[in-house]
Amino acid sequence: MSESFDLVVIGAGPGGYVASIRAAQLGLRVACVERESALGGTCLRVGCIPSKALLESSERYEETRNGLKQHGVLTGDVTLDLPAMLRRKDSVVLALTKGVEGLFKKNRITRITGQARITGPKRVVVTGAKETVELDAKTILIATGSQSTPLPGVEVDNDRIGTSTEALTYPEVPGHLVVIGAGYIGLELGSVWRRLGSRVTVLEYLDRILPGMDAELAAEARKVFEKQGIEFRLKTKVTGAKVLNGRCTVRLNDDDVMDCDRVLLAVGRRPNTEGLGLETVGIQPDERGRISVDERFQTTASGIHAVGDVIAGPMLAHKAEEEGVAFAEMLVTGHGHVDYGVIPGIVYTHPEIATVGRSEEELQSAGVAYRKGVFPFMANGRARALGHTEGRVKILADATTDRVLGVHIIGPHAGDLIAEAAAAMTFGASSEDIARCCHAHPTLSEALKEAAMAVEGRAIHF
């Protein structure tokens, strides 16, 4: 069987399904191929969404046990129903995957389940459980996402030693969980199980946590997490990990050994570019498995494009979505845009950590003169009322033009607050522009305003 489409999208994650919808809105006949039974990709099925559901549930559990007394709310014995918590997480995922299915139907996108392989220019073969389908495509978009990066010597059995996928479904709270990697994923899932009762040890090869994030905020975050009970061992090389008699043994720095119940391997992600038939059209991924594209997401093969985790840039769902929309609009209208300088990054721990733009280290390395404004949440009325006063807002502005170059936040609802900063930077705002905007009182957003005022040394409430 063979069918013809204007666009065949390989992968139904944030980049692929968004590109499919936008292209269909613009009048193209679109097919989207996904090998999994559910739409939404890693982010929706076994990544961003389920992890945030568990973060929310575990935070409520911990607050009920330890944090409500200060509000005058007294509870009796609080117990954990882990199966119910996991069921809620699954229901959130199911509702959203069904939502994407509904959007495909609404936009008349042909959904094809199976493993896609490019067999030549404008040709895709999809091998499904029951049949093989050949697709003719005027244009092909690769949006196959990424997978967890392995680590030499770590014997992943997808049970006791696993990745973030397994850490979303542990059937019991581990007595001792060892997390390899102090990045976004490791800290978020480590926080979940720490709140639920695990002893959590995070091992990191570098001398800091959250590589790539503003160092000052990362250092403050480490202190907060240590206060919460997470143990960090930095400058630690993991040389091996395996399961023996139902227990995990982790080798450190070649001679030290750590025993634990479970191991979460979270040292990063790598592109899903194997098995796609790229060699049939002359596409050669780089040493990290990424596909090279130009400013219009065009690969080295005519008519074949790529977006999301398979190309350079941060492996973030919202970055992939922006690229998916831009690609579709470029394809149909000739115009599209992604501003890579203002893509936020968020760690959904407690407190949250959010960043957009350039860090102090990046500005210093580039020799850019800047001014800094900082405002702590302990001086914010809304944060006081919430009882969450840890953290701060930091704004970095060009020393000459005052244009905002970077905003970094650690504190309550930082992930929501960073949106204002991203919008301001998108429109080229100065710190004074933000400072001159009236912010409602009492709100957490006032901390952003005060940090902007602090760039000029005129913060009012600190």
Per-residue pLDDT of 371-393, as tens digits, reads: 999 999 999 999 999 999 999 99
Amino acid symbol at 259: D
Q: Are 266 and 183 in contact (CB under 8 A)?
A: yes
Asked, colleague to colleague, whether 2-147+270-338 and 161-267 share their fold, the answer is yes
Mean pLDDT of 93-99: 98
- Rounded-to-integer distance, Cα 154 and Cα 201, Å: 16
- What per-residue confidence (pLDDT) applies to 1? 60
Of 331, 259, 344, 320, the closest CA to residue 296 belongs to 331
Which residues are tagged catalytic?
Answer: 441
CATH number of 2-147+270-338: 3.50.50.60
SS3 432: helix
Query: Which sign, positive or negative, has the C-alpha torsion 291, 365, 316, 228?
Result: positive
> Could you identify the residue written with the tokens 């501003």?
339
Please give the model's pTM, rounded to 2 decimal places: 0.96
Distant-in-sequence, close-in-space partners of 248: CB < 8 Å, separation ≥ 6: 160, 161, 178, 241, 242, 259, 260, 261, 262, 263
81: CB partners within 8 A, 6+ apart: none
pLDDT at 377 (0 to 100): 98
Q: Which residues of 214-252 are buried (b: 16+ CB within 10 A; e: fewer)?
A: bbbbbebbbebbeeeebbbbeebebeebbbeeeebbbbb
Check pLDDT > 90 for residue 2.
Answer: no
66 contact partners, CB below 8 Å, separation of at least 6:
none
CA pair distance 290, 273, nearest whole angstrom: 7
pLDDT at 254: 73
**342-455 placed in CATH 3.30.390.30:** yes
Cβ(278)–Cβ(284) below 8 Å: yes
Closest CA relative to residue 400, chosen from 427, 370, 372, 428: 370
pLDDT beyond 80 at 218: yes
How do residues 240-299 score in pLDDT, each as one tens digit?
999 999 999 999 987 899 999 999 999 999 999 999 999 999 999 999 999 999 999 999
CATH topology of domain 161-267: FAD/NAD(P)-binding domain (3.50.50)
Supply the angle between the helices 48-66 and 82-106 in degrees, to the nearest 10: 150
CA-based nearest residue to 167, from 38, 47, 57, 272:
47
Q: What percent of the chain has pLDDT over 70?
A: 100
For the chain, which residues make up each domain, given as ranges? 2-147+270-338, 161-267, 342-455
Instruction: Give the strand order in the sheet containing 176-180.
Output: 161-162, 262-265, 176-180, 199-203, 231-233
